[in-house]
Amino acid sequence: MTALGVLLLAAVILLVFVVLRRRSPAVFRRIEAYERLRKAIGLAVEGGTRLHVSVGRGDLLTGRGGSALAGLAMLRRLSEQTSFSDQPPIVTSGDASLAILSQDALQAGYRAAGAEEQYRFTTGRLTGLTPFAFAAGTVPIIHDEKISANVVIGDLGPESALLAEAARLENVDLIAASDNLSAQAVLYASSQEPLIGEELFSAGAYLGAGASHDASLQTQDLLRWLIILAMLGGAVLKVLGIGF
């Protein structure tokens, strides 16, 4: 019941912030990784190169699916912004259902831009069903497909080091984040501007995906403060000898 109550509270707060966001524009703090990503989008369209987006291998039916959903939200916006490029973005994943959803996100982006006829389902690829098979199938894409920037957001593990090394060898940007601690360690050391912690889940908002994405950031902040206040309140009650 407690978990359900928290979920309902978060939903109500999110709806309130969505309404408020539609009345006034969002203002976010500067995150250098997303600044680099916006520049990479423009350079890819102008230079006739590709973006490579990897949404990892997270199973959407487990707790690891959250980062994959954040990657899919970002992917839809990226495909909309690059829909008229000569070289559309390539998306890789390591889970069958995630591969299907990545193709759907790509198509939705093209549809939103009014260029659905430009969409090719072959740009959404399942490169492997195990961690290192996924990495082994993705590395050749980084080397051979005229990639100008790599965007890696999702559930990965130590195999992320292979993707980072491939990006380094090709001397292209790597913008990356993961909810896995081992991948975070690798990506923090190897990406130019690493995304840390909950910055992973703000991709949609920073790319202008809509009011709901903007409101989700405010909801996260408010819930974080409520948790802090609850912890401080519990500590004070404990000191006073008041228990529940």
Between the two ends of the chain, the Cα-to-Cα distance in Å is 17
Mean per-residue pLDDT for 14-39?
Answer: 78
User: Which position has the token pair 């380094």?
Assistant: 168
**pLDDT tens, 104-146?**
999 988 888 888 888 888 889 999 989 899 999 999 999 988 8
Q: What percent of the chain has pLDDT over 90?
A: 14
Q: Can you tell me the distance from the alpha carbon of 103 to that of 72, in angstroms, rounded to the nearest whole number? A: 10
The full set of domain ranges for the chain reads 27-209, 210-244
- The C-alpha angle 44, 47, 51, rounded to 5 degrees, equals 25
- Arithmetic mean of pLDDT over the chain: 84
The whole-number average pLDDT for the span 59-64 is 75
pLDDT higher than 80, residue 94: yes
At residue 243, the pLDDT reads 61
C-alpha separations of 46 from 60, 142, 150, 167 in Å = 35, 19, 17, 21
Nearest to 152 by CA among 62, 58, 30, 218: 58
Quick check: 51 pLDDT over 60? Answer: yes
| pTM across the whole model | 0.80
Higher-confidence residue: 25 or 102? 102
Could you write out the DSSP letters of every residue in the chain? Answer: -HHHHHHHHHHHHHHHHHHHHHHS-------HHHHHHHHHHHHHHHHT-EEEEEEET--TTSTTHHHHHHHHHHHHHHHHHTTTSSS--EEEESSHHHHHHHHHHHHHHHHHTT-GGG--GGGEEE--SSHHHHHHHHHHHHHHS-EEEEEEEEE--TTHHHHHHHHHHHT-EEEEE-SSHHHHHHHHHHSSS---GGGGGGHHHHTT--HHHHHHHHHHHHHHHHHHHHHHHHHHHHHTT---
CA distance 199 to 35: 13
The 10s digit of each residue's pLDDT in 203-225 is 777 777 677 777 777 888 888 88
Distances (CA, A) of 244 to 2, 229, 236, 237, 241: 15, 17, 13, 9, 10
Rounded to 5 degrees, what are φ and ψ at 64?
A: -80, -5
Does 162 score more than 70 pLDDT? Answer: yes
User: Topology of 27-209 in CATH?
Assistant: Rossmann fold (3.40.50)
Question: In the predicted model, is pLDDT for residue 89 greater than 60?
Answer: yes
Say yes or no to pLDDT of 244 above 70: no
Question: Per-residue pLDDT averaged across 6-32, rounded?
Answer: 76
